[in-house]
Amino acid sequence: MALTCKELWSEVSNYIDGSVSAEIRDEIERHLAQCRHCTALIDGVHNVVVLVADGRTFELPTGFSERLRERLKLEVQHGSL
Amino acid sequence: MAKTATIERAHGQPGPEESELIRRILAGERELYYALIEPYQRMTYLSALAVLRNEADAEDCAQEALLKGLRHLKDFRGESKFGSWLVRITLNEAKMKVRKLRPGQYESLDEADSEDSEYVPRILSDWREIPSEALERKEVREVLHNAMQRLPKIYREVFFLRDVQNQDIATTAQILDVTEMVVKTRLLRARLQMRDMIAPLLKQSNVFSRLLFRKGANPWR
């Protein structure tokens, strides 16, 4: 029996992570070939995952490491640790 | 649909020198601590950001947590990765900070009601591949940051660990002390909500079309 949209939604994450069985993957891809909305959903989620995994999206604040080193140095020197 | 669905993920394993560094620090060479935590600065900062949603508070919290890591290094038993141990310290520190800074706004951990309900994704037209060069634009990063801040806390934590920091499902579950099934359920919800928030905003702002039309391509066919 063909996969419904609702059934596909519950597998979006696993599909994107490549953690579905070959059988489910084939069913999803058969569904996607004929469903524009689910294709847009998968593409959108895939884009989100790619964009947020990029180191430029969430960067360390400028000077973070320098401030941390300074703080560590002071605390170690003053024996408060 | 010919598409490679798998996202390659980096699984940072502790190097063999890590336990040696820990041994030397505990033996008195505390100035080596920075070398030990250097690879985990971003991870620690992002964990604090996931809870606090404010860069200045997150930096302060991450640094407090890293100092706490030195104070409690003798308690690290190696039962989890060192990075996971630091993240757990950071998340606890961040939660305490939220209670202190914004007592009236503390987000309850008990958000199970919304978790158990069915989430229906918005029907949106095609949103095709987005070039990574778009991330050079501040407005694109802001859209992503704002969307992340609007995620409920239980989804935001999982999303940050798994998708922003590239932790695997098992490590994410271990850090948050929940089952892998809970991680998967929350991750699915987080990703769907992020997509629903981001796709219309980015299309509305026309960021990508400006970027791509300049290059003679249409991202949505």
pLDDT tens, position by position, B103-134:
665 555 445 445 666 777 877 666 665 666 77
Count Cβ atoms below 10 Å from residue B105 Cβ, excluding itself: 8
By CA distance, what is A73's nearest residue in B? B31
Distance CA(B87)–CA(B81), nearest Å, equals 10
- The count of structural domains within chain A is 1
| Chain B residues inside the 8 Å CB shell of A52 | 144, 148, 159, 163-164, 194
Count Cβ atoms below 10 Å from residue B50 Cβ, excluding itself: 26
Cα distances (angstroms) measured from residue A67 to each of A70, B49, B70 = 5, 17, 16
* CA nearest neighbour of B87 among B32, B46, B26: B46
Among A15-19, A71-75, B120-124, B212-216, name the most confident range.
A15-19
pLDDT tens, position by position, B4-34:
333 333 344 455 688 899 999 999 998 899 9
**Any CB–CB contact under 8 A between A2 and chain B?**
no
**Any CB–CB contact under 8 A between A74 and chain B?**
no
Enclosing domain of residue A24: 5-77
Domain boundaries, chain B: 17-105, 112-213
By CA distance, what is B54's nearest residue in A? A61
**Any CB–CB contact under 8 A between B188 and chain A?**
yes
> The whole model's pTM is what?
0.80
- Phi, psi (5° rounding) for residue B120? -105, 115
Q: What confidence score (pLDDT) does residue B214 get?
A: 42
Q: Which residue has the tokens 């791509």?
A: B212
Asked whether the beta carbons of B147 and B191 are under 8 A apart, the reply is: no
Q: A65: domain CATH number?
A: 1.10.10
Q: What confidence score (pLDDT) does residue B207 get?
A: 53
Torsion-angle region of B53 (φ positive above 0: left; ψ -120 to 50: alpha; else: beta): left
Q: What is the ipTM of this complex?
A: 0.90
**CATH 1.10.1740.10 is the classification of domain B17-105:** yes
SS3 A14: helix
Which of B1, B6, B45, B157 to mutate to probe the A interface, most A CBs <10 Å? B1
Compute the C-alpha angle B45/B167/A16, nearest 5°.
125
Q: What confidence score (pLDDT) does residue B25 get?
A: 93
Out of B132, B166, B192, whose CB is closest to A12?
Answer: B192
Q: Which residue has the tokens 């900062």?
A: B45
Structure tokens, B120: 């229906």
Distance from CA of A16 to the nearest CA of B (A): 5
| Chain A residues inside the 8 Å CB shell of B59 | 61, 64, 67
**3-state SS string over B4-41?**
CCCCCCCCCCCCCHHHHHHHHHHCCCHHHHHHHHHHHH
35-64 of A, contacting B, C-beta below 8 A? 36-37, 39-41, 43-58, 60-61, 64
Asked whether the beta carbons of A16 and B7 are under 8 A apart, the reply is: yes
Arch. (CATH architecture) of B112-213 = Orthogonal Bundle (1.10)
Pick from A73-77, B51-55, B60-64: least confident: A73-77
**Any CB–CB contact under 8 A between B33 and chain A?**
yes
Q: What confidence score (pLDDT) does residue A2 get?
A: 85
Distance from CA of A60 to the nearest CA of B (A): 6
| Chain A residues inside the 8 Å CB shell of B119 | 9
**Any CB–CB contact under 8 A between B203 and chain A?**
no
Comparison of pLDDT for B60 and B108, the residue scoring more: B60
